[in-house]
Amino acid sequence: MDRPQQQWLPPLAPQPVPEPAGPASPPPQRSGLKRISGPLVVGLIAVLKWGKAALLLLPKAKVLTTSGSMLVSVAAYALIWGWKFAVGFVALLFIHELGHYIQLRREGVKPSGMLFIPFLGAVVGTRSLGGSALAEARVGLAGPVLGSLAAAALLPIAAATGDDFWRALAFTGFFLNLFNLAPVVPLDGGRAMAAMAPSVWFAGFGAMVLLAFLWPNPILILIVLLAAFETYRRWKDRKKPLEGNAEYYKVAPRHRFAVAAVYVGLIALLALGMDVSFVERTLADA
């Protein structure tokens, strides 16, 4: 038998061995600030566009009544602090806003309602803050005055019961009112500065920007965005003959001094209240 013939083939050239591919680079991700600021900008535009109309419709909207929004806020805060502390905190917010409400009525302005917004506080709907910067300052300071008295009223309860719960709630109330005295609109301290020195709004805005940069969180970023819009609008229009703005910021020196005395006195007393009500926590308590 004939053996099968073998066909000669040229030797194969050595093929280069591919180098192992490195780990796939992850897709670029947006920073936390960008992820947060995007929705906040959209939300701010919505607030500026529809917020005023919503406040005017507030008395007619059954879902957004004061009691209904209070219950929603209590439920939201209870997820973090428990229902007992949440009820106390919302009560302090209510008393703070009640101060604004009462003073608005005294200035001849009829408020349209009170709305509680979880994690942002509360707001009293109104068309005006009075006919002058002095009236605006009185309305702005009335909230921290009444709110500070409410927080201070918790200290005797804490002393009588020996329960740190009441001290912690008082501390939170003092801090809430002190933060609201930051000299930037639309916070209460910015309202006071309308009668004292509107130029301080820029210093307050810069401090708020720095605070948001050092400790970024959605609430601070939203306040910065609102403050930027409101400060620019009010500073631009402060000398225009619109709705009496030409006379709006004229405040007598004695009234300016009185507002400054209440403002500085509140800051000092609230800082003292926070020091007295501070509760030392250890790792065992956490």
Angle at 44 between CA 49 and CA 64, to 5 degrees: 70
* Reported confidence tier of residue 67, pLDDT bands at 50, 70, 90: confident
187-237 tens-digit pLDDT: 999 999 999 999 899 999 999 999 999 988 888 888 899 999 999 888 887
CA–CA distance from 252 to each of 31, 128, 134, 195, 249 (Å)? Answer: 49, 21, 9, 9, 10
**E strand or H helix at 180:** helix 164-180
Taking the CA atoms of 56, 59, 244 and 257 in sequence, report the sign of the dihedral they define: negative
Q: Which letter, b or e, does each residue of 63-76 get, where b requires 16 or more Cβ atoms within 10 Å of its Cβ?
A: ebbbeebbebbbee
**What would the pLDDT profile of 259-268 be if each residue is shown by its tens digit?**
999 999 999 9
| Structure token digits, residue 95 | 């008393």
Domain with 107 in it: 62-277
Is-cis flag, bond preceding 186, omega within 30?
yes
Amino acid at position 95, single letter: I
Whether pLDDT at 40 is above 70: no
Banded model confidence at residue 133, pLDDT cuts 50, 70, 90: very high
| pLDDT score, position 66 | 79
Three-state DSSP string of 79-146: HHHCHHHHHHHHHHHHHHHHHHHHHHHHCCCCCCEEEEECCCEEEEECCCCCCCHHHHHHHHHHHHHH
Judged by average pLDDT, the poorest of 47-51, 90-94, 193-197 is: 47-51
Return the pLDDT at 242. 55
Within a domain: residue 256? yes
In a domain, 146, yes or no: yes
Within a domain: 27? no
Residue 30: pLDDT band (50, 70, 90) is very low
Residue 21 covered by a domain? no
67 lies in some domain: yes
Residue type, 36: I
How far is 143 from 137, CA to CA, in rounded Å?
Answer: 11
Contact present, 259 and 249 (Cβ < 8 Å): no
Number of domains the chain is built from: 1
Rounded to an integer, the average pLDDT of 248-260 is 93
Q: Is residue 84 part of a domain?
A: yes
Listed in sequence order, the residues at least 6 apart from 201 whose beta carbon sits closer than 8 Å to its beta carbon are 183, 184, 185, 190, 193, 231, 234, 235
* Token pair in block for residue 100: 């604004």
In the block, residue with structure tokens 């709006």: 248
In a domain, 249, yes or no: yes
pTM above 0.85, yes or no: no
Decide if 1 is inside a domain: no
